[in-house]
Amino acid sequence: MRCDIFCTVIDHFGDIGVSWRLARQLSDEYGWRVRLWADDLTTFARLCAEIDARAPQQQIGNVIVEHWRTDIDWSRRRIEAADVVIETFACHPPLAYIAALARRAQCAPPRRAPVWINLEYLNNEDWVIGCHLKPSPHPRYPLTKYFFCPSLIAGAGGALKERGLDETRRAFLANAHARTALWTALGLPIPTSDATVVSLFSYENAALKPLLAAWRAAAAPVVCIVPEGIGSNAVARCLRLPSPAAGSIAAFENLTLCIAPFVHHEIYDRLLWNCDLNFVRGEDSFVRAQWAHRPLVWQLYPQNSDAHFAKLDATLATYAADLPTAARVALTHFWRVWNGAVPASALDWNGFWQHRGIYAVHARRWAHQLNVLGSLAAHLVEFCESVHCGYGPAARNTLS
């Protein structure tokens, strides 16, 4: 199967992060020939050190990476549409490419027509089940686009997860030398055994200042690791520090602030595994934190008219459903404060973290529940190959 994935980078690192993970998994695990079209290779290079931001075309591992530029004259380019076309987050492939896709669909045998997928953002609201795999006929061409909805609830598309991730995580955590080497590689001191180690990856957040104040006054040491960028600059303003560089360390009462370099995917996974609690944002890091088997706090990307609050509440209803009442109430309140649904003055760190033992057990149990739903790539491959081989509507019944 040949696959083209299109990605526009509009949400910091989340869009390209998801697209890159999916491209590698389809190529490495399923043998698909994948071409990833990305419009911002400079941002992409922050996640993948092998990317040359100046190259119009390059191969990274088994994936061909194309620079998707708006100044390309697609009408003069020989376009060969793939077997599977994935537009991530409704990014709209070039019109000339869609026309080429339509030509291929018209010429292809009935059982070899191309498959066009719109990969949606992760969502856990009830309507997602009805939208997942729903066909959408093109208004001009004889093409059908299918909506594929990543989700943490049964009946939808699942979440991205590579084969062997659990084995890699367990091997890392069992290797004391590897865990120590991670801190050295990040240029950070090894936390003491009595410290709560927290990773903090966030957008601008009104609740950040009271959270840092709570950590400064905490009964036990808190080591906060912040990747350099938007989050580290916000933390620095709250603590009245100059803009921090990677490797910077500052102590404030019981809080030790450590600025980590922005790292590629594999190292970030190890950081999540090595922490007691992970604050994550957007979609990609949120999913990775769940596979880390660690307690987490999620910050959604803010939307107009506070539309993200409905997504937050739907996720809380799913994620926190099996928690004991007190722990569920504390977690729900903390996540809502962190996302601005409740005033920042209501933040209660001690009320939340007193349930840390329960959250740790729940995080492991939750990851096992997600495994039962199956991985996003596996569902996507099964659906695309079924449609491409002519099985049609039966694919929907077997996947939903």
Active site residues: 15, 283
End-to-end Cα, the chain, rounded Å: 23
Q: Which amino acid is at 235?
A: V
The answer for 176, left when phi > 0, alpha when psi is -120 to 50, beta otherwise, is alpha
- Runs of H (alpha helix) within the chain: 14-30, 41-47, 95-107, 127-131, 165-173, 176-185, 208-216, 230-238, 265-274, 284-291, 308-319, 325-338, 349-353, 356-373, 376-388, 394-399
What span, in angstroms and rounded, lies between the C-alpha atoms of 290 and 158? 13
Residue 46: which of 307, 305, 229 has the closest Cα? 229
Angle between helices 165-173 and 176-185 (to 10 degrees): 90
Backbone angles phi, psi at 95, to 5 degrees: -60, -40
Residue 384, token pair as written in the block? 């695309």
DSSP assignment letter at 120: P
The answer for 284, left when phi > 0, alpha when psi is -120 to 50, beta otherwise, is alpha
Sole residue written with tokens 């009830």: 126
Cα 371 from chain centre: 16
Q: Which residues of 17-35 are buried (b: 16+ CB within 10 A; e: fewer)?
A: bbbbbbbbbbbeebebebb
What span, in angstroms and rounded, lies between the C-alpha atoms of 17 and 289? 14
